[in-house]
């Protein structure tokens, strides 16, 4: 049906073209990604989208971007699916210098390429996204669904699921939200700096609540086949989270990168390898120390006095400096995990008397989660995870 836009009559597009544009767009707005078949008021399926020409349908001044030399204009390559308001905005005369042909074509290509990629992934490539959002010394970072989704789609061939019920796989751990029927905002709990054990007790309870009552329930029902973990919280809590994840479920752990503030793995950066060292070779006792110099360096003089005389292991980068952004490549994280496994195996073989490892971690977020995942509480020594406070390193929590 002909419509009025910018003072001229538009011809109705052929039904074949209309169908092709809707399919290529996945029923979603090319610009804002809104799903355009769901009515919010009557809760009925209804077409809310409009088909907008990139190069105007007519070659007149009244047809937005119409004075382009494109010959065939009523084609799926020159039409994009958009929301009604956005259609008006991109065609407004005062916006034509912003919404150029090149800009709209870029929107269209990126959106349709993403829809084709996502819909081409097999159903068994779905991943359940688990976000843990907390504070570190009073600070938070951006960890939205959109940033996690972008990281999963960019870094691999999986589809992230964020919906709210277990038939739809959405899980989040809000470290300032909800334990049972009580509302807990950890930003206001005294001791977030690590000096107060009550903070860790309450935070662990939140993690346990979600893992036990949501994630493990979904796993037992075969509704969770893969997990993608995004975590921002104090390092001991990330280790604890990793220790609570089911090691029978394939899991990807993501890292927040300081240099660009994203969670997407880089394929351009070289992978970093890691090595283990026995820094203090004293006869094995029931306790030993593990220092992780990955994101920074912990000097021997910084160890608490009661740890100074114990057998001491260290993991550090090979041919690279310890730095906060050392985990830019996902293979760096894989190398760290392999080195941890090898070290735990070595302790089991050569220092069987060791029953407890005091862990001082200077590690990126993803490495903290991986430490908890690699540790096998049935085989390996118990872990006492330390946190750095104004008074030095103090025990924060135990993984027995």
Full 3-state SS string of the chain: CCEEECCEEECCCCHHHHHHHHHHHCCECCCCCCECCECCCCCCECCCEEEEECCCCCCCCCCCCCCCCCCCCCCHHHEEEEEHHHHHHHHCHHHCCCCCHHHHHHHHHHHHHHHHHHHCCCHHHEEEEEEEECCECCECCCCCHHHHHHHHHHHCCCEEECCCCCCCCCEEEECCCCECCECCCHHHCCCCCCCCHHHHHHHHHHHHHHHHHHHHHHHHCCCCCCEEEEEECCHHHHHHHHHHCCCCCCEEECCCECCCCECCCCCCCCCCEEEEEEEECCCCCCEEEEEEECCCCCCHHHCCHHHCCCEEEEEEEECCCCCCCCCCCHHHHHHHHHHHHHHHHHHHHHCCCCCEEEEEEECCHHHHHHHHHHCCCCCCCEEEEEEEECCEEEEEEEEC
Query: Above pLDDT 70, what percent of the chain?
Result: 86
Handedness of CA 138, 144, 150, 156 (dihedral sign): positive
First to last CA, the chain: 70
- Average of per-residue pLDDT values in the chain: 85
Tell me: the pLDDT tens digits for 295-352? 999 999 999 999 999 999 999 999 999 999 999 999 999 999 999 999 999 999 999 9
CB neighbour burial string for 269-293, b if at least 16 within 10 angstroms, e if fewer: beebebebeeebeeeeeebbbbbbb
Return the domain boundaries, the chain. Answer: 3-119, 123-253, 273-399
The token duo for 136 is 């570190």
Tell me: the pLDDT tens digits for 6-24? 455 678 899 999 999 999 9
Tell me: the pLDDT tens digits for 97-136? 999 999 999 999 999 988 887 777 666 777 888 888 877 7
The token duo for 63 is 């047809």
Pick the range with the lowest mean pLDDT from 48-62, 121-135, 177-191, 211-225: 177-191
Whole-model pTM above 0.75? Answer: no
Q: How far is CA 329 from the centre of its chain?
A: 14
The token duo for 357 is 């490892």
The token duo for 3 is 């419509």
pLDDT for the residue 391 = 73
């Amino acid at each position: 049906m002909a419509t009025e836009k910018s003072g001229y009559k538009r011809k109705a597009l052929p039904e074949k073209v209309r169908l092709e544009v809707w399919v290529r767009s996945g029923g979603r707005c090319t610009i804002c990604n809104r799903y355009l078949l769901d009515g919010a008021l009557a809760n009925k399926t209804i077409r809310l989208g409009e088909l907008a020409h990139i190069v105007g349908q007519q070659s007149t001044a009244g047809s937005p971007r119409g004075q382009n030399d494109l010959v065939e204009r009523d084609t799926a390559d020159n039409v994009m699916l958009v929301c009604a308001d956005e259609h008006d905005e991109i065609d407004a005369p005062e916006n034509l210098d912003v919404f150029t042909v090149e800009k709209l074509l870029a929107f269209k290509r990126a959106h349709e390429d993403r829809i084709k990629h996502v819909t081409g992934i097999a159903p068994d490539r779905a991943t359940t996204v688990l976000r843990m959002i907390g504070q570190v010394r009073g600070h938070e970072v951006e960890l939205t669904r959109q940033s996690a989704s972008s990281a999963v789609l960019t870094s691999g061939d999986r589809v992230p699921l964020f919906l709210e019920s277990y038939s739809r796989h959405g899980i989040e751990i809000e470290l300032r939200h909800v334990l049972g029927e009580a509302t807990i905002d950890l930003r206001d709990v005294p001791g977030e700096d690590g000096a107060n054990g009550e903070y860790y007790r309450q935070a662990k309870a939140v993690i346990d609540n979600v893992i036990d009552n949501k994630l493990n329930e979904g796993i037992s029902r075969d509704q969770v086949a893969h997990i993608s973990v995004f975590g921002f919280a104090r390092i001991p809590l990330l280790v604890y989270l990793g220790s609570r994840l089911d090691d029978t479920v394939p899991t990807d752990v993501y890292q927040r990168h300081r240099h660009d503030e994203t969670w997407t793995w880089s394929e351009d950066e070289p992978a970093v390898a890691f090595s283990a060292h026995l820094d203090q070779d004293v006869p094995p006792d029931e306790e030993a120390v593990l220092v992780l110099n990955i994101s920074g360096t912990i000097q021997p003089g910084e160890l608490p006095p009661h740890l100074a005389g114990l057998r001491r292991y260290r993991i550090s980068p090979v041919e690279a400096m310890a730095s906060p952004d050392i985990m830019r490549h996902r293979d760096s994280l894989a190398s760290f995990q392999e080195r941890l496994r090898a070290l735990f195996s070595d302790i089991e073989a050569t220092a069987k008397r060791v029953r407890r490892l005091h862990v001082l971690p200077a590690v990126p977020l993803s490495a903290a989660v991986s430490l908890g995942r690699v540790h096998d509480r049935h085989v390996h020594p118990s872990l006492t995870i330390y946190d750095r406070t104004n008074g030095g390193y103090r025990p924060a929590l135990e993984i027995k």
